[in-house]
Structure 1
């Protein structure tokens, strides 16, 4: 088995991760549900790639994500840092007294569970009671049944923390808060403040120690899936952890998603803030990309108005909404990493195209030796192989979730790794693996442009929509993600009570279309930090960077641009 270890660093990264793990939990539940669609029972996915088996001190068998999550203190809402399965409700008081004077105890009121979390807790209590007494409690909660519609409404109107909609149990080593870091989250917004706040502590070492706990259990780790909110002060912590991974796990590649929430793209009000933002973006990307095999920037300035949201109804102001769409795509991209590889006992009728992170890096790098930056595209939901939407074929519906890229670029040297799962064929029936392959190959064969190489992975299992998924689907999306010719009358947004699953397509591509993204960061670094009289020269010096370090970053960005620029010229010559 080729295990993956996942890291989530930063607020928005954990919002994305919470949805991601909800998808996995839903898949596990549907696989065991005798009444679920048979496609969920034959997923051809090895969930042990992402999960670890364990046991509590009471002998309860556990199955928890192989995950380290990092966020600011107070970010867990009503959840304990020990999670729930292993929480032994240990008291903070001690029986050892070394002080004879008066003692005053101040305890903050715990955050209250919302209706969704209350229902989860009560269901588990009923299940424990049922197991203990050997009787069937009928699924009724202790206080009376909480209706699904009430749970969904409470989430739509009340999500504050990423734990508010998480239905997953976590291991005690998974949840880490940056204790002692008393900082306003709104001001924790640049590389310098993050570096300064973390410099006095051992947070990087503590995170690495938790990471080591999960890695040492692995038989043959295939790499790390790293989701970081790189819009502010978490970037230097992520850099510390990446340096530790590079030192300790030389042969384990890192696939890093640099995610950004909807608020991070707002224009700063002052010139000083604009300079700080530009320098942060340049420095953060340069440092992170130099320490991972593949970096994927994710997060559009406005997801709701983008082409990617053609069939969605998203509120950009809600991280709960935007993170759901990004998490769905990351789930899709991760499927080939845990597909059962073809062999004498493997059934290729449910999934095909298994790859490891290393193989995806090799596919996207081609002949290049340097670390790669890739564009993430998604079709959510993807159109059926035949029907009303066939005019825009499956590949034509893939839209970028990576910001600042050039559109309609004809890069004949581009390299791609694509996944299509749960695709629908004629009559709304699930398309076979061969039908999907034939459709994609035909689309590229008859397209105006096509990549130099595309690796295609296909699975029949669609994306399940768990109850805490937000109501972000438009009224042209049917119960199983089919695209309708006429809108459904009623609410313009639909959620988990209306949509059970959707077909998805996602793609990572190495293309010269990323050049504007890179050129913007190089330009910002030079004009704001390196050039004579640069307005941010002193600022970046206060962040702890000497001029020669900035020049090294600029040189690295220049090489990335030159490599892609050369490919772009080769494409032009081929025309």
Structure 2
């Protein structure tokens, strides 16, 4: 069956951090070995999100259907046209007289990027950077400033492991995936991390893409990827909702709504944990931007999914989300975006499957009924499956506690959802259940013969009043380099929890995971708490929003719209 294509947009710096991990995870799951495919047929249809093309020299390429937006000086060592279609500068100069080429100093690439280029030259189908592929003495650990070892070699698997915590400044510092020249769109009017002229007001984003010349470029990029699709089913939008990119997203979503009204628009609104709340103005900007993004995003998206590893975002940035066996650093976008990307990669599997795939619209239409345009996401990465235990045992051990953690701020998974789409991946059939159950447990599990059986029975028994959908995938998350080292030492190389700790030089390469996408009355807390905060602001006092085009009547309409949206999630009978 032909692929039903999806085009992705990444709007904002943090969205690009998340998106980079997202594409890396998918490329890590590519299988090139025919013998492996014969034994383990591929589960994911990568043609849904990737496109095949050719360079000017005839080289076959495989790149994402992606348009991304970021600010000036945000690319690091990555060229704006990507890495596949570059032409030597001297060859493009047609001049009879003397020529002098003036080049700006190149950004220094970290050791991972250098090794990646060398490995690709040696082996086009390498799924991991192996020490044996490198020309230099890879067994020697490389050190960065401060004595931190950047590259080590796993003594068991011979793969290179990288500590990039101090190396990653921008998202391209760990990008494995090649990008098409039409992918990257830089907003020239603002610079990345410029404290003197921050890109921190919703209206700035609308203004910066409002000019005809620039907007024509945006349309051309989107059309390039959509017009080559045979069966376009919709769009995925990664959106920075807390700053000026919220306004860019509103403009892009408005365009998609007008031009592709029959196509689904699934928006992932992401917020980092290291927010720049140094002043009251910073805080008010973030809250107002988020409110405007929710209002416009819900109006223009088929489904809007807020995501962050901060448990609360408004009056104060709350505690960071904790998961068993995860040890991430909340101040590093490189870490937090990895958790969000792994969760998004898992939740979207139902419409990326090789066979029996659903459509994006199947999810967005189910979850957006009765005006409920906001969803919430719960995740368990890694799913805490002990060596020697079973999937059924692990679920039973949670009792009345949910086996996952909410990644949507202000939502606590406290009630049974209206709708739920649950994905389980990476659970071997050999770890489904034991054969020696007794008593009540046996009646609960006696009919289960597969992971799918266990999941469906668990959902039916635990959430009897919900509309439940389940999806089981054989393969776990591929979390080799450059995925950060955020798994506790008790997680072995296959992602299972063990009493024996990993050695300092060994890595984790795959983990089981579960996600639960929900529509729930708990979402009321997210919207109502935001509406309460923005209703207390007098927009006339926030001149930076007025100067960027905000009208007081528009602000009042937004506040009222949030109240109406929140009421859609109030529990019946309240």
Q: Same fold (TM over 0.5)?
A: yes
Is the CA contact 2:524–2:567 (under 8 Å) kept in the aligned structure 1?
no
The SS at the match of 2:536 is helix
Question: Superposed, which structure 2 residues align to 1:288-307 within 5 Å?
Answer: 288-301=297-310, 306=320
Q: What residue in structure 2 maps to residue 349 of structure 1?
A: none
Question: Residues 382, 114 of structure 1: CA spacing in aligned structure 2 closer, same or farther, 3 A cutoff?
Answer: same
| More off after superposition, 152-161 vs 459-468 | 152-161
CA-CA distance at 1:267 after TM superposition = 4.0
Q: Describe the superposition over 1:275-311 as per-residue Cα deviations: whole angstroms up to 9, x where unpaired.
A: 3332222122212221111010011227996554221
Question: Residues 277, 45 of structure 1: CA spacing in aligned structure 2 closer, same or farther, 3 A cutoff?
Answer: closer
Q: What residue in structure 2 maps to residue 333 of structure 1?
A: 347
Q: What residue in structure 2 maps to residue 455 of structure 1?
A: 469
Is the CA contact 1:378–1:398 (under 8 Å) kept in the aligned structure 2?
yes
For residues 2 and 379 of structure 1, what CA distance do their matches in structure 2 show? Answer: 28
CA-CA distance at 1:50 after TM superposition = 0.8
Question: Residues 307, 91 of structure 1: CA spacing in aligned structure 2 closer, same or farther, 3 A cutoff?
Answer: same
Question: Superposed, which structure 2 residues align to 1:41-120 within 5 Å?
Answer: 41-91=40-90, 94-95=93-94, 107-120=103-116
Match 1:206 to one of 208, 217, 224: 217
Match 1:14 to one of 8, 13, 16: 16
Match 1:241 to one of 252, 263, 273: 252
Q: What residue in structure 2 maps to residue 364 of structure 1?
A: 367
Question: Residues 400, 450 of structure 1: CA spacing in aligned structure 2 closer, same or farther, 3 A cutoff?
Answer: farther
1:415 aligns with 2:419: yes
Q: What residue in structure 1 maps to residue 441 of structure 2?
A: none
The SS at the match of 1:224 is strand
CA-CA distance at 1:64 after TM superposition = 1.0
Question: Residues 529, 293 of structure 1: CA spacing in aligned structure 2 closer, same or farther, 3 A cutoff?
Answer: farther
Question: Superposed, which structure 2 residues align to 1:244-283 within 5 Å?
Answer: 244-264=255-275, 267-270=277-280, 272-283=281-292
Is the CA contact 1:204–1:240 (under 8 Å) kept in the aligned structure 2?
no
Question: Residues 273, 171 of structure 1: CA spacing in aligned structure 2 closer, same or farther, 3 A cutoff?
Answer: closer
The SS at the match of 1:116 is helix
1:546 aligns with 2:551: yes
For residues 91 and 104 of structure 1, what CA distance do their matches in structure 2 show? Answer: 10
CA-CA distance at 1:154 after TM superposition = 4.8
Q: Describe the superposition over 1:193-222 as per-residue Cα deviations: whole angstroms up to 9, x where unpaired.
A: 434555557434322210110000001111
For residues 487 and 520 of structure 1, what CA distance do their matches in structure 2 show? Answer: 44
Question: Residues 211, 488 of structure 1: CA spacing in aligned structure 2 closer, same or farther, 3 A cutoff?
Answer: same
Q: Describe the superposition over 1:96-140 as per-residue Cα deviations: whole angstroms up to 9, x where unpaired.
A: 599x9xx99764211122111111212233358xxxxxxxxx965
Question: Residues 426, 392 of structure 1: CA spacing in aligned structure 2 closer, same or farther, 3 A cutoff?
Answer: farther
Question: Superposed, which structure 2 residues align to 1:174-573 within 5 Å?
Answer: 174-182=183-191, 184-186=193-195, 187-199=198-210, 202-264=213-275, 267-270=277-280, 272-301=281-310, 306=320, 308-342=322-356, 354-366=357-369, 368=370, 370=371, 372-384=373-385, 385-387=391-393, 390-392=396-398, 396-405=402-411, 407-411=412-416, 414-424=418-428, 427=431, 435-447=450-462, 449-484=463-498, 486=499, 488=501, 491=504, 497-529=506-538, 535-536=541-542, 538-565=543-570, 568-570=571-573
Q: Which runs of 5+ in 1 are unaligned?
A: 129-137, 343-353
For residues 316 and 112 of structure 1, what CA distance do their matches in structure 2 show? Answer: 26
For residues 496 and 554 of structure 2, what CA distance do their matches in structure 1 show? Answer: 52
Is the CA contact 2:395–2:403 (under 8 Å) kept in the aligned structure 1?
no
Q: What residue in structure 2 maps to residue 166 of structure 1?
A: 175
| More off after superposition, 4-13 vs 556-565 | 556-565
Is the CA contact 1:415–1:451 (under 8 Å) kept in the aligned structure 2?
no
Q: Describe the superposition over 1:391-438 as per-residue Cα deviations: whole angstroms up to 9, x where unpaired.
A: 126982211111122x25324x621111111124555899x9962232
TM-score by length of 2: 0.83
The SS at the match of 1:475 is coil
Q: Describe the superposition over 1:240-295 as per-residue Cα deviations: whole angstroms up to 9, x where unpaired.
A: 1111111111111110001111212x54433x433333222212221222111101
For residues 158 and 106 of structure 1, what CA distance do their matches in structure 2 show? Answer: 28
The SS at the match of 1:282 is helix
For residues 428 and 384 of structure 2, what CA distance do their matches in structure 1 show? Answer: 8
Alignment root-mean-square deviation, CA: 3.3
Is the CA contact 1:204–1:241 (under 8 Å) kept in the aligned structure 2?
no
For residues 194 and 90 of structure 2, what CA distance do their matches in structure 1 show? Answer: 29
Question: Residues 262, 91 of structure 1: CA spacing in aligned structure 2 closer, same or farther, 3 A cutoff?
Answer: farther
Is the CA contact 2:73–2:191 (under 8 Å) kept in the aligned structure 1?
no
Question: Residues 273, 112 of structure 1: CA spacing in aligned structure 2 closer, same or farther, 3 A cutoff?
Answer: closer
Match 1:23 to one of 25, 32, 39: 25
Question: Residues 183, 365 of structure 1: CA spacing in aligned structure 2 closer, same or farther, 3 A cutoff?
Answer: closer
Q: Describe the superposition over 1:37-61 as per-residue Cα deviations: whole angstroms up to 9, x where unpaired.
A: 987x423321110111111111111
Question: Residues 89, 371 of structure 1: CA spacing in aligned structure 2 closer, same or farther, 3 A cutoff?
Answer: farther
Is the CA contact 1:222–1:356 (under 8 Å) kept in the aligned structure 2?
yes
TM-score by length of 1: 0.83
For residues 468 and 479 of structure 2, what CA distance do their matches in structure 1 show? Answer: 28
Residues paired across the two proteins, number: 527
Is the CA contact 1:393–1:443 (under 8 Å) kept in the aligned structure 2?
no
For residues 448 and 319 of structure 2, what CA distance do their matches in structure 1 show? Answer: 33
The SS at the match of 2:420 is strand
